Amino acid sequence: MSAEESAKQRRKISYPTILIFEKWINETDARVLPKSRLGEALAYAYSLLSRLSCYVNDGRINIDNNLIENAIRPLALGRKNYLSCGNEASAYRAAIVFSLIGTCRAAGVDPRTWMEDVFSKLPYWQRDGKDLAGLLPRSWAKENQIDQSSTN
């Protein structure tokens, strides 16, 4: 389904549900103390309602961040292992590498292939004064005509 079709479906199906939820928040909020747990939860939910309009109006946006959470789960699971980096500078460099690998995966690029190619080009790329952004995984995928449709 295209982004436009998805947005149209969301406006038809999800938007009325959001309006019902907003009405419930307003009605319930009037009956609870603002500093109570429920009152604070209602205020928080109400403050986020405007963000749902992005979801309803833009078919490219997911309602959740499960893709990102699944991508960072291995990092969270390996946190104890990362304590063995040795020092802060090493941990910083490891975080950069993990971030680049995650970006490769999100772009549908094999991290090893990307790294091999980028590391071989990097010295010449900098010498020629090219923008390093051209070597980032999404730019690299476009340049190398990697199909990214499976990841979006």
As a whole number of angstroms, the distance between CA 10 and CA 31 comes to 31
∠139-144-147 over CA atoms, to 5°?
Answer: 85
Structure pTM? 0.49
Judge whether residue 150 has pLDDT over 70.
no
Q: Are 59 and 4 in contact (CB under 8 A)?
A: yes
Judge whether residue 46 has pLDDT over 70.
yes
Q: Are 59 and 7 in contact (CB under 8 A)?
A: yes
Tens digit of each residue's pLDDT (9 = 90 or more) over 2-13 = 989 999 999 999
Q: Give me the pLDDT at residue 151, please.
A: 47
**Alpha-carbon radius of gyration of the chain:** 22
As a whole number of angstroms, the distance between CA 146 and CA 24 comes to 47
Rounded (10°) angle between helices 37-57 and 3-29: 160
Q: pLDDT-derived band of residue 90, with 50, 70 and 90 as boundaries?
A: confident
Q: HSE, CB side, 13 Å, CA atoms: give it for residue 1.
A: 11
